[in-house]
């Protein structure tokens, strides 16, 4: 088993395309549907995004920590990465 020194720490934000590459074993259609739904659910509640269409909200390139954390809870950490102890704390 690999130790944390051999693994990379999971970033706190990442481009959607880079995250897709990290989860290359996950079918693209499932990846996109799930990450877009997570982004929409998290951001549509924020004042900054009020009144924006779902399409405009999910067109974002950057996925932030709270969205990453939710995705990781569903699919686990990608191969070669570890999740720091405080990662899921807000």
Per-residue pLDDT at 75 = 96
Q: Nearest 5°: CA angle at 56, between 50 and 60?
A: 105
The model's confidence at residue 28, banded by pLDDT at 50, 70 and 90, is very high
Question: pLDDT tens, 29-74?
Answer: 999 999 999 999 999 999 999 999 999 999 999 999 999 999 999 9
Per-residue pLDDT at 56 = 94
**Domain-by-domain residue ranges, the chain?**
8-82
Per-residue pLDDT at 89 = 81
What's the rounded Cα separation, in Å, for the pair 19 and 44? Answer: 21
Mean pLDDT of 5-10: 88
């Amino acid at each position: 088993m690999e130790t944390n020194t051999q693994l990379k720490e999971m970033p706190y934000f990442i481009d959607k395309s880079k995250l897709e590459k990290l989860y290359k074993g996950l079918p693209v259609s499932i990846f996109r549907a799930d990450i877009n739904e997570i982004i929409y659910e998290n951001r549509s509640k924020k004042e900054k995004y009020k009144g924006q269409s779902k399409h405009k909200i999910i067109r974002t390139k950057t996925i932030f920590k709270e969205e990453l954390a939710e995705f990781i809870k569903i699919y686990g950490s990608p191969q070669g990465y570890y999740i720091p102890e405080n990662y899921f704390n807000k």
